[in-house]
Amino acid sequence: MIRTLALIGLLTATSAAAPPAAEERPAITGVSHLAVYATDAAKTRDFYTRVLGAREGRDLEDPAGTRYYFGARQFVEVLPLPPGHGPSRLAHVAYATADAAGLRAWLARHGKTDLSPVQRGANGDRWFATHDPEGNEIQFVQAAATDNAAVPGAISGRIIHVGYAVHDRARQDDLYRRLLGFRPYWFGAFDASKVDWISQQTPDGRDWLEYMMVGPGSDVPLAKVDANQLGVLNHLSLGVRNMQAAVTTLYRENRLSPRHDGPQMGLDGKWQANFYDPDGTRIELMEFGPVMTPCCSAFTADSPTG
């Protein structure tokens, strides 16, 4: 009963404020990239290129950074850690849109004020930035590439979700669910009386954002949210078709990162394994769909298929 009531609450929490008309908004189709800070460029390069098999590329947004591509449109952006920066290594999260200029104008019409100008990269990508209610920088990227062809040798060619620490679900929902139209997907926790993870898919795709809940109502007390915990919470997930095959490849080719755990069955019924970059950011491998009934709640939308 607790889980049933919790699900009802999650699905209806923002129903009092009707979202703007969806047909007006340019499509938000999935995850573009995750940007993180790093302290050791050589060790970080080894992790993303040798362990995960990503292709190194020039950062078209910040000349001080480096991109590690898993597909033609999806990558991790690594930036040097700024002096005096706090414990979090999360720089920003970016979602894919079909029309960056149109989405920026749409957000401005609906009251969003902290919008950067639309920028254009040398490869034709367009993007702009804003912030969510908890201060996380989020970007919306209109990629010039027409498909997301996988990088040869990468352990995965597909980013399927991103997650980051959230303290106040209602405030975040006001942006992600009410304004942008993200759609409920699944939620769960180790303790049925709490909620630790709340997943919602992008409005026009199957990639998802995972609220990693901290503080009251979750299993993660605020006192525990240190640098190590933030590296676990603020993460990216790569989709794989077969976890056994993916992890076997890493073992066989001696590509395991020094810190790793799994594979294990997640409470969502999906196989997962975790790897950590040299600064502790978690990169999760996850099978695209569940292989058993999930804990805590049913899926309310179709899973990615690759």
Rounded-to-integer distance, Cα 254 and Cα 270, Å: 25
Q: Would you call 303 exposed, middle or buried from its count of C-beta atoms within 10 A (0-12, 13-18, 19+)?
A: buried
Q: Which amino acid, 182?
A: F
pTM listed for this prediction: 0.92
Task: Provide the pLDDT for residue 21.
Answer: 58
Joined tokens for residue 93: 């999260």
pLDDT of the chain along its 306 residues, tens only?
A: 333 333 334 443 444 345 565 559 999 999 999 999 999 999 999 999 999 999 999 999 999 999 999 999 999 999 999 999 999 999 999 999 999 999 999 999 999 999 999 999 999 999 999 999 999 999 999 999 889 999 999 999 999 999 999 999 999 999 999 999 999 999 999 998 999 999 999 999 999 999 999 999 999 999 999 999 999 999 999 999 999 999 999 999 999 999 999 999 999 999 999 999 999 999 999 999 999 999 999 999 999 988
Rounded-to-integer distance, Cα 257 and Cα 274, Å: 10
**DSSP letter, residue 63:** T
- C-alpha pair distances (Å), 234 with each of 15, 227, 276: 28, 10, 11
Residue 155 and residue 285 in contact, taking contact as beta carbons nearer than 8 Å: yes
Residue 58 and residue 124 in contact, taking contact as beta carbons nearer than 8 Å: no
Residue by residue, DSSP assigns 143-208 as -S-SS-PBPTT-S-S-EEEEEEEES-HHHHHIIIIIIS--EEEEEE-SSTTS--EEEEE-TTSS-E
Does an H or E element contain 160, and which? strand 159-166
Joined tokens for residue 191: 């303790």
Task: Provide the pLDDT for residue 146.
Answer: 87
Rounded-to-integer distance, Cα 213 and Cα 202, Å: 19
Rounded-to-integer distance, Cα 94 and Cα 129, Å: 9
Q: In what order do the strands lie in the sheet with 28-38?
A: 55-58, 66-69, 75-80, 28-38, 90-97, 137-142, 126-131, 119-120
Residue 211 and residue 13 in contact, taking contact as beta carbons nearer than 8 Å: no
Joined tokens for residue 268: 């969502």
Residue 260's SS3 state is: strand
Task: Provide the pLDDT for residue 23.
Answer: 59
The residue among 87, 44, 70, 214 whose CA lies nearest residue 145 is 70
Classify the C-alpha dihedral 224-270-191-300 as positive or negative: positive
Task: Provide the pLDDT for residue 19.
Answer: 58
Triad 116, 57, 227: Cα angle to 5°: 65
